[in-house]
Structure 1
């Protein structure tokens, strides 16, 4: 049985092995390049680095951020592609061509036939995706240490354990879709679109609800504002984006309130826009310069809901466990379907 599965799967397996070899070479190159940049950053920001640290950090980030985000996005697509090209055709092609009847008329039970297929292809997908994730985690380690954005949607899903769970779930999802649709091309399309949609849904809806966030109130100084990434929302309003907590720079900021005055009321939009568009000229430096000084003069604060960086490992374990449980549930549904309804 295992030999039969290998003969059916060897083409995909060899293609996956070749892709892994090529990706390994590129990821090693990226990892070495990131470490060279990290050493340059440390030489400027080590002992005696002084005020040059902020600029060195910004240059190090801008030099590698786009490449690592592109790689993270690419890794996010790998499980979806494997689910579509490995998982979906695995059963759909057999049912479409009628070759399943030959196997079922032998001594092999339907349950064993399906479980062996899922285990064989699923293990290959997990190994391939896990190897890529491990390499990317290694390559990006110095960057993650400096930038401290491990909870970013793309970054979190492309590091450590979560990609393993993605791969296992994608293959079982594709298998079930192929079993239900019984047509290879439609099953591949539904698997690809459905799993990509799931990868957007889970981090934005489910992940924030896995643990209750902690809360704190942060006094807004010019330094706080200059440490943020944006001021103002899409529809305007006194909000601040990309904030970091001074005492927990690696925390995941789940939610921030609008800028509030000392009495707890939201800062008036007109006053916010005055500081944004035409602040008093002070010659201040930093990302937002005079705007930061102007806003800080209003004695503002914001309420922050956040997850400490120490929860990163817990979130990784919880999310991976959920994917594995969902994959097991989809496999159980497939077994129930194949026993009762597929002829």
Structure 2
């Protein structure tokens, strides 16, 4: 069974091996260039965009594994009817599916783990200089969590193919669904893996000028992009007055649109100076960088648990409903 599964998978394995080798060559070269830089403080500016691009690209790997390795695995057999030949040779259905999931699932995890290890090594000096590997995009391309993503993508693809029984629809569905899950987990679940630390930050004119954005589409008292050193900011309140109430839209818009001309410099100039005189503050929730590995373990366990649940559903389904 294992040998037959590998033979059926040889084309996909060959393509994956070639792409993995090319990625490894590039990442080793990139890591060597980064380590050759003399001024490490300039690394985030030189390679920050490259790291974001690589992390976003590697974020597609689980979806590609699910769509091109997982979805056709069973759906193609059901479409062509070759599953009946195997079952007529006294091979139990559950064993047939379990072997396929085990062999090719472990292969998917090995590929993702190798890519993650290489990127983690290549990006280490940049991450250290920037103090940032906890953000939503970068976190998913570092450490051991990508192993769980690959396991989930592959298992979800295989079970979806079993249920849909058509290769192309299953591939499209799996690709979109895995991307949706990878978007939802960092935004909805990851910030709550552990209780966030809380801090109150006074909003002086200098502090406001350090923000990336000010105001919202509706004109609300929102300040965005505030950072805490060595931490991932998960939530920032609206601008608050000394008594803890939200600054009124009227007061905010007055400073935003009609701030007195003082000649103040900085990103937001006179607006920041006007708001700075109101003794405002924001409440911020954050996850310190020291929690990176606990979060990695939690996310790995989450995705492996989902994979095991999906595999159980597939084993139940193939025994009772598939003919």
Structure 1 distance, partners of 2:61, 2:151, is 12
Distance 1:234 1:323 in 2: 36
Aligned length: 323
Q: Aligned to 1:160, what secondary structure does the other structure show?
A: coil
Give distance in 2, aligned partners of 1:312 and 1:41.
Answer: 22
Deviations 1:238-274 (A, max 9, x none): 22111123xxx12222221111222323234344345
Distance 2:239 2:112 in 1: 42
Hey, what's the Cα distance between the residues in 2 that align with 1:92 and 1:268?
57
Task: Name stretches of at least 5 consecutive residues in structure 1 with no aligned partner.
Answer: 43-55
- For 1:40, the equivalent position in structure 2 comes to 39
Partner of 1:52: none
Report 1:109-148 matches (<5 A). 109-148=92-131
Question: 1:213 Cα shift?
Answer: 2.0
- 2:18: which partner in 1? 18
Structure 1 residues 63 and 226 mapped into 2: Cα distance closer, same or farther (>3 Å)? farther
Q: Tell me the distance in 2 between the aligned counterparts of 1:195 and 1:235.
A: 33
SS class of match (1:228)? coil
Rounded Cα–Cα distance in structure 2 between residues aligned with 1:341 and 1:173: 18
**Deviation sequence 1:126-149 (CA, Å, 0-9, x none):** 111111111111222222223233
How many Å apart are 1:298 and its aligned residue?
A: 2.2
TM-score scaled by length of structure 2: 0.92
1:331 pairs, out of 297, 301, 311, with 311
Compute the displacement of 1:91 (Å). 0.9
Q: Within 5 Å, which residues of 2 pair with 1:155-174?
A: 155-174=138-157
Contact 1:229 1:241 survives alignment (8 Å): yes
Distance 1:273 1:62 in 2: 34
Distance 1:119 1:73, change over 3 A: same
Q: Using the alignment, how far apart are the partners of 2:241 and 2:15 within structure 1?
A: 60
Q: After the TM superposition, which residues 1-343 of structure 1 pair with which residues of structure 2 at under 5 Å, given as runs?
A: 1-36=1-36, 39-42=38-41, 60-245=43-228, 249-276=229-256, 279=259, 286-343=266-323
Cα offset for 1:338? 0.9
Q: Does structure 2 conserve the Cα–Cα contact (< 8 Å) formed by 1:82 and 1:170?
A: yes
What is the CA-CA distance between 1:308 and the residue it aligns to? 2.4
For residues 150 and 219 of structure 2, the distance between their equivalents in structure 1, rounded to whole angstroms, comes to 40
SS of alignment partner, residue 307 of structure 1: strand
Deviations 1:206-250 (A, max 9, x none): 2233333232211223442233222222332222111123xxx12
Q: What's the offset of the Cα at 1:84? A: 0.7
Q: Which runs of 5+ in 2 are unaligned?
A: none
Contact persistence 1:239–1:259 (CA under 8 A): yes
Question: Relative to 1, partners in 2 of residues 1:164 and 1:298: Cα closer, same or farther, differing over 3 Å?
Answer: same
Alpha carbons of 1:319 and 1:117: their partners in 2 closer, same or farther (altered >3 Å)?
same
Aligned residue for 1:53? none
Contact 2:144 2:297 in 1 (8 A): yes
Contact 1:150 1:250 in 2 (8 A): no
Change (3 A) 1:201 1:18: same
Q: What SS does the corresponding residue of 1:197 show, helix, strand or coil?
A: helix
- Secondary structure of the 1:263 match is coil
Contact 1:92 1:184 in 2 (8 A): yes
Q: Tell me how far apart the structure 2 counterparts of residues 287 and 33 of structure 1 sit (CA, whole Å).
A: 34
Distance, in Å, in 2 between the alignment partners of 1:84 and 1:159 is 22
Question: Is the alpha carbon distance of 1:195 and 1:240 closer, same or farther for their aligned partners in structure 2, counting shifts above 3 Å?
Answer: same
Question: CA separation in 2, counterparts of 1:41 and 1:209?
Answer: 33
CA distance in 1, matches of 2:175, 2:231: 32
